[in-house]
Amino acid sequence: MSKVSQLTPTEDCLDQASEWLAKVDRGLSDEEQQAMHQWVHANPNHRRSLFEMAALWDSMSMLSELSAMFPLEEAPAKRTALAFPVAAAACLAALAIGLSLLWVNNNLLQQATFTTAIGEHSQYKLNDGSTIHLNTNSRLRIDFDLGERRVYLEQGEAHFTVAHDKRRPFIVEAGDNTITAIGTAFNIQLSNQKEMELLVTEGKVSLQGPQTARLASDSRNTLPTPVTTYLSAGQKVASSEQKISSVTPIESETIDGELAWQRGFIVFDGAPLRQAMSEVERYSELSFTMDDDIQALQIAGFFKTNDTDKLLNALEESFGIVAERREQSIHLRQP
């Protein structure tokens, strides 16, 4: 029998170590304990990988448990003139490993919550190199771990520019929808917990949302089943409760208009007045009402998100519309 052992590649060792740590965390069965001991002693790199990944978990209890399960084998003590230098070198090496693990830990793991007020938009640089641009009255939180980068868009609108990392997918949950990307850029607008709009500006993403499927045995009952839709750059899709619309191609000029909020503008290209003022409300403490006979008027132009007066002046000049102010609301009507 050959005594030459096959060395496991470092990347595979780390993957296997992560799997064992997950099992230790939830509790090992007797068979798993035996299999884990066999794995650790099969290759000297296995124990080292196990402790490196445990350090990334940043759990002292996990490190203590592993130290008890797999203590280092101590050689008989033998004092020589080199004892102190060797010990000092070992301490320096341990310190260097600790600092490097701390650096990796801080750059891989991140938890945070970002919010914007009405009329505000902000940009955030994440530890992994990704960027999030958050629109008015929005809120999201991030939870990055060693296996994935997960973001929860709880309210509003955000544009994501995702740093490439094939081992850790970038996942956004928005309402009942899950959007997954590896290296790309996309925009999500969540109007409420059941309606969402997704626009891909670079690369590709997958969208998984709910859809109702009837049970053959009882037509009165329904079960939600996930449906996956794939989008590429220049494509847009909307998702509402239990339905994902068909994918729509979007011209580059239209994309620029939809992302104009990043520069502090709103762009209208023939939008009905009712729809346009609903969009303006997102950036203002004001609410708008209007007479029925002007709701379908189509307007075009670009306006600053914080300059409602300019928009009202343009409506008066172009259509003769009168704006009646009532405390925190404005009513639009024909003279």
State residue 312's pLDDT score: 92
Kindly report, residue by residue over 264-276, the tens digit of the pLDDT.
999 998 999 999 9
What is the distance between the alpha carbons of residues 80 and 89, in angstroms, rounded to a whole number? 15
Q: Note the pLDDT of residue 209.
A: 78
Alpha-carbon span 233 to 253, nearest angstrom: 13
* pLDDT over threshold 70, residue 191: yes
- Domain boundary among the residues 225, 252, 279 is at 252
Question: Higher model confidence: residue 114 or residue 9?
Answer: 114
Assign 200 a pLDDT band (cuts: 50, 70, 90): very high
Same domain, 236 and 272: no
When pLDDT is averaged across residues 130-151 and rounded to a whole number, the result is: 94
With H, G, I as helix, E, B as strand and everything else as coil, classify residue 305: coil
Return the amino acid letter for 243: K
Worst-scoring range by mean pLDDT, 100-104, 304-308, 324-328, 331-335?
100-104
Under the banding of pLDDT at 50, 70 and 90, the label for residue 11 is: low
- Are 315 and 232 members of one domain? no
Quickly tell me which residue has 């008027």 as its tokens: 297
State the residue range of the domain holding 190. 109-252
Assign residue 319 the CATH number of its domain: 3.55.50.30
Residues 51 and 129 in one domain: no
The pairing of beta strand 195-202 with beta strand 185-192: antiparallel
State residue 60's pLDDT score: 58
Per the prediction, the chain carries an average pLDDT of 80
C-alpha pair distances (Å), 261 with each of 73, 208, 287: 62, 26, 19
Distance CA 10, CA 4 (A): 18
Report yes or no on 189 lying in a domain: yes
Is the backbone of residue 301 left (phi > 0), alpha (psi -120 to 50) or beta?
left
Residue 163 within any structural domain of the chain: yes
Residue 257 covered by a domain? no
Q: Which of 228, 252, 276 is the last residue of a domain?
A: 252
Using CB atoms within 10 Å of the CB of residue 317, give its burial: 0 to 12 exposed, 13 to 18 middle, 19+ buried. Answer: exposed
pTM (2 d.p.): 0.66
Q: What is the pLDDT of residue 22?
A: 73
Which pLDDT belongs to residue 216?
A: 38
Are residues 302 and 280 located together in one domain of the fold? yes
Residues 202 and 329 in one domain: no
Question: What does the alpha-carbon distance between residue 156 and residue 132 come to, in Å, rounded to a whole number?
Answer: 13
Give the chain's domain count: 3
Least confident of 243-252, 287-296, 318-327: 243-252
199 and 223 co-located in one domain: yes
